[in-house]
A and B are shown apart, each in its own frame.
Chain A
Amino acid sequence: MDYRNAFAISATGMDVEKLRLDTIAANLANIHSGKGVDGKLFRPLHVTTSEATSNFAVGFEQLAGAQLHGARVLSVEASNVAPRKVYEPGNPEADDKGFVSMPGVNQVTEMVNMASALRAYEANVVAMNAAKTMALKALELGGSQ
């Protein structure tokens, strides 16, 4: 009976969703960014995750409960989205037709992803609180009855 594992699993879930929210915030913050110092446009970031697995020996993994490790982040990658072309003839970065390239951040997609990441984060908090309630209830055992 190990409560710490339940807390650790929920913590990994919160970690992953927090990073997802951070990247969404970065994408939205750069929605109107021009070219950087390296002359490249910002590309929207995307988080890839997978289920976390342990590096322990397989024999140990046979223990029920020792096989559960929550989620982990595989990578944060810049996605290959074509830049948006915005007509802004007054902009110093405009090309000869008056178009400016802006990062291909899709505001609607980012907002939808944010809502789902937020909901997943909240679900992890609820799971952690449930584990806490269960652990505290078990502590009452053997007290005044």
Chain B
Amino acid sequence: MFGQTEAITLDMLKMALDAASLRHQAIANNIANVNTPGYAPARVSFEAQMGALRSTLQQGNPITPGMLSGIRPVLEREAVVQESDRTALLDKEIVNMAQNTVQYEALLKALGKHMSILSAAVAEGKR
């Protein structure tokens, strides 16, 4: 029982952390280019690829490692920002960044909890 959930949880947390880290770089790039004419903002697509996994879980079925193949953070480009929308871009990116930082810390917390469950299971053998 442990082998399967263990691998899936760690893999998914790792990918989600990678996605949040890449997303931070994309946001930093957008902020660095906030005054660049003709710049197309970078975005990271990741959570949208989780639709199939979510419906599998809702039907009460377990996720198999094979279902994770092909899911990875992807860097995308939006349409070029118009000159008049440039100030709105900065506000939007700051909001995205705050959200992404909280998301990253939540993922780290989840990873920490998962590890502590594992160490509790390991420690039982000592008694």
Contacts and interface: CB of A to CB of B under 8 A. Distances in A.
Contact-size category for B: 35 or more
Per DSSP, are chain A's interface residues mostly helix, strand or loop, or mixed? helix
Contacts of B116: 145
Interface stretch (B2-10, B17-25, B53-61, B63-71): B17-25
Contacts, number: 118
Interface string B85-127: 0010010011001100100110010011101100000000000
B28 A9 contact: yes
Name the prevailing secondary structure of the B interface residues.
Answer: helix
A127 B31 contact: yes
Interface of B: 17-18, 20-22, 24-29, 31-39, 42, 44, 72-75, 87, 90, 93-94, 97-98, 101, 104-105, 108, 111-113, 115-116
Interface of A: 1-3, 5-6, 9-10, 12-13, 16-17, 20, 49-51, 64-65, 67-71, 116-117, 119-120, 123-124, 126-128, 130-131, 133-134, 137-138, 140-142, 145
